[in-house]
């Protein structure tokens, strides 16, 4: 029995097929170009396998409310050609099988929950911090979503004392993404994140915002674990700083799990998304 | 068949018994004094009815994680005598029936969801704004909680431009509760909230913070409706201001339900809590 997974990112697509033992038997990767070209590549790749179920984690925002006319669509996006594209509809024309449809960050969250940093937990939060900031939540062993998927990167934050940067989010200026995404960090540093010294005070600032976000998620969701993924999360010096700032900001208002097990780095790296997509396809 | 409900507030207790048609057949109210006196009053009231199930919504913070040693306890609270009181344990010594145990705000949320402002919805958020700020969420027809109940009042907020007030939360100073609870409003105004003129700019400020909180809840939970309860919520002039500020701050980043149906005043008033407790007792 074969299952299909698609991790549809704004930059690249990953498609894979797994068997019932969760082994990946085929896999491909290609740059995200136009919707038409993409659909053709997806079709070609999967045509060699008789897949019984499929899951797609798509870059967004996407329509995830089955009662809404935009269900299955990519919505407003700066990605050329993808605005208002009926992605799920086009896939359904090709594949006459059940297709799980959710966000790219939700499939990564599911991957980390099932096979990464959150195995054996019934709830988990995954936050990707890179060009943008986005997050997903597993609640009682399922992907959490109501009429919309969580938009964890766009919550407003209380600025750090003396932080003069005013934020770069085109919608909210100084929301979490506007203050703490990779580009925000680089705009402050006036250099690439990878070249910022590990002991630069900018990492304290970055940790402050990520810790405040983790505090908000803790107060509102109380997940068993908060996992950081994405490019910025690879800066290992951040974790002690995030934990320290989290503890200070939350000020012991609630008793959390131990912070070195609670605020952690992702385990699956770039494989979280496709892993989660395949597992969602198999489990649904 | 009779069901019991207890709304255990920091100021007053309400106990009631309902029949299977959701009719309240008996009800009492008394001031919150010591745990011992309270338990005796609860016992006396319910002794006349053979109740088959009960639900308690307690002021907190309370332990709601069944795997934790503090499950059923009132935790750190300024309320004298109630710190570390095994409330559920004491109730179980008297009543040998199933007891649903949750927060006061969760029972109020359930009441509004079942019989108030959110009937016919599968998700709803209820925020009480009074001496403190707290909130509950219904998700897929159930009370949302992980290892902790939501603590919606203590999320950090981005301060309004030129707001000089630095907040009064003993834990976080300028969190939502610190900036927008009744006492914060009164500290700014230097008078009781009820005497602040309806057109005072302070209501704009209050609306700004409540709108920002509603934006965070929208981005993280996407509930079908956000219901405001508690003393401050009775200021009807707030609603147009909250909706306007919400729209401005969210800046159309996600498509919400229509704001006059989305950001609304509670319907059950002071009865939300006991109504929800009785319904939870009946439905669980």
B84 — contact with chain A (CB < 8 Å)?
no
Residue among B209, B255, B258, B261 with most chain A CBs within 10 A, to mutate: B255
Rounded Cα distance between A94 and A43, Å, is 7
Same domain, B216 and B138: yes
Please tell me the predicted confidence (pLDDT) of residue A46: 98
The C-alpha atoms of residue B191 and residue B206 are separated, in whole angstroms, by 15
B163 reaches A (C-beta below 8 A): no
What is the least distance, in Å, from the CA of A178 to any CA of chain B?
13
Distance separating alpha carbons of residues B174 and B226, to the nearest angstrom: 23
* Cβ partners under 8 Å of residue B32, min gap 6: B8, B9, B10, B11, B12, B13, B38, B59, B79
Contact state of B216 with A249 under an 8 Å Cβ cutoff: no
Are B257 and A147 a contacting pair at CB < 8 A? yes
Q: Do A157 and B156 touch (CB under 8 A)?
A: yes
Residues of chain A with Cβ-Cβ distance to B158 below 8 Å are 156-159, 174
Same domain, A276 and A244: no
B48 lies in a domain?
A: yes
First to last CA, chain B: 14
Residue of chain A minimizing CA distance to B171: A251
Q: What are phi and psi of A177, to 5 degrees?
A: -60, -40
B163 and B85 in a common domain: no
Do B103 and B140 sit in the same domain of this protein? no
Intra-chain end-to-end CA distance of chain A, in Å: 14
Whether B157 and B211 map to the same domain: the answer is yes
For helices A182-189 and A202-221, the axis angle rounded to 10 degrees is 150
Same domain, B137 and B18: no
Give the global pTM. Answer: 0.96
> What is the gyration radius of the CA atoms in chain B, in angstroms?
19
A126 touches chain B (CB under 8 A): no
- CB pairs below 8 Å between A and B: how many? 108
**B113 lies in some domain:** no
Q: Which of B66, B147, B224, B252 to mutate to test the interface with A (most CBs of A within 10 A)?
A: B147
Which parts of chain A sit beneath pLDDT 70?
Answer: 284
- The answer to whether residues B198 and B101 belong to one domain is no
The alpha carbon dihedral of B152, B156, B159, B164 has a sign of positive
**What SS3 state is found at B24?**
strand
Does A160 lie at the interface with B, CB-CB under 8 angstroms?
Answer: no
Q: Pick the closest to residue A111 from A128, A96, A131 (CA basis).
A: A128
* Cβ contact A254–B223 (<8 Å): no
The ipTM is: 0.95
CA distance B28 to chain A (A): 32
Asked if the Cβ–Cβ distance from A219 to B139 is below 8 Å, we say no
d(CA B187, CA B185): 5
- Name the burial class of residue A236, with classes exposed (0-12), middle (13-18) and buried (19+) by CB atoms within 10 angstroms of its CB: exposed
If asked whether residues B90 and B152 sit together in one domain, one would say: no
Query: Number of folded domains in chain A?
Result: 2
Residue B125 domain flag = yes
Of the candidates A234, A235, A262, A233, the one whose C-alpha atom is nearest the C-alpha of residue A246 is: A262
B-contacting residues of A 174-213, CB under 8 Å? Answer: 174, 212
At residue A80's C-alpha, the angle toward residues A94 and A75, to 5°, is: 65
The answer to whether residue A32 is domain-embedded is yes
CA–CA distances in Å: residue B68 to residues A120, A223, A256, B63: 17, 15, 12, 8
Does one domain contain both A64 and A158? no
Question: Do residue A158 and residue A250 come from a single domain?
Answer: yes
Kindly state whether residue B44 falls inside one of the protein's structural domains: yes
Residue A165 lies in a domain: yes
Phi-psi region of A82 (alpha: psi -120 to 50; beta: other; left: phi over 0): alpha
Which pLDDT does position B284 carry in this prediction?
63
Query: Are A156 and A240 within one domain?
Result: yes
Residues A260 and A166 reside in one and the same domain: yes
Contact A139 B146 (CB under 8 A): yes
- The range of the structural domain enclosing residue A78 comes to 2-107+271-282
CATH assignment at residue B89 = 3.30.420.40
**Does residue B91 lie within any of the structural domains?**
yes
The predicted structure's pLDDT at residue A77: 83
Return per-residue pLDDT of chain B as tens, 284 residues. 999 999 999 889 999 999 999 999 999 999 999 999 999 999 999 999 999 999 999 998 899 999 899 999 999 887 889 999 999 999 999 999 999 999 999 999 999 999 999 999 999 999 999 999 999 999 999 999 999 999 999 999 999 998 999 999 999 999 999 999 999 999 999 999 999 999 999 999 999 999 999 999 999 999 999 999 999 999 999 999 999 999 999 999 999 999 999 999 999 999 999 999 999 999 86
Q: What pLDDT is recorded for position B76?
A: 83
B234 touches chain A (CB under 8 A): no
Residue of B221, B223, B246 to mutate when probing chain A, most A C-beta within 10 A: B221
pLDDT at A283: 87
In a domain, residue A112? The reply is no
Residue B148 with chain A: CB contacts under 8 Å: 218, 222, 254
């Amino acid at each position: 029995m074969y299952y299909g997974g698609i991790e549809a990112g704004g930059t690249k697509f990953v498609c894979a097929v797994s068997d019932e033992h969760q082994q990946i038997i085929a896999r491909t990767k290609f740059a995200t170009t136009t919707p038409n070209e993409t659909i053709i590549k997806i079709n070609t790749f999967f045509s060699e396998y008789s897949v019984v179920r499929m899951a797609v984690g798509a870059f967004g925002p996407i329509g995830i409310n089955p009662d809404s006319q935009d269900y299955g669509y990519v919505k407003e996006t700066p990605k050329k050609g993808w605005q208002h594209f009926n992605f799920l509809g086009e896939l359904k024309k090709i594949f006459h099988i059940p297709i799980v449809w959710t966000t790219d960050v939700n499939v990564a969250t599911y991957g980390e929950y099932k096979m990464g940093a959150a195995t054996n937990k019934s709830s988990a939060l995954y936050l990707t911090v890179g060009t943008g900031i986005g997050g997903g939540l597993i609640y009682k062993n399922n992907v959490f979503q109501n009429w919309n998927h969580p938009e964890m990167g766009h919550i407003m934050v209380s600025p750090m004392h003396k932080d003069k940067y005013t934020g770069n989010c085109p919608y909210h200026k100084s929301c979490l993404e506007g203050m703490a995404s990779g580009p925000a960090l680089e705009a402050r540093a006036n250099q690439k994140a990878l070249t910022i010294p590990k002991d630069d005070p900018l990492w304290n600032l970055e940790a402050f915002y990520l810790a405040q976000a983790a505090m908000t998620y803790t107060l509102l969701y109380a997940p068993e674990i908060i996992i950081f993924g994405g490019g910025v999360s690879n800066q290992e010096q951040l974790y002690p700083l995030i934990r320290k700032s989290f503890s200070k900001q939350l000020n012991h208002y609630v008793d959390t799990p131990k912070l070195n097990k609670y605020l952690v780095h992702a385990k699956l790296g770039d494989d979280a998304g496709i892993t989660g997509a395949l597992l969602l396809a198999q489990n649904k």
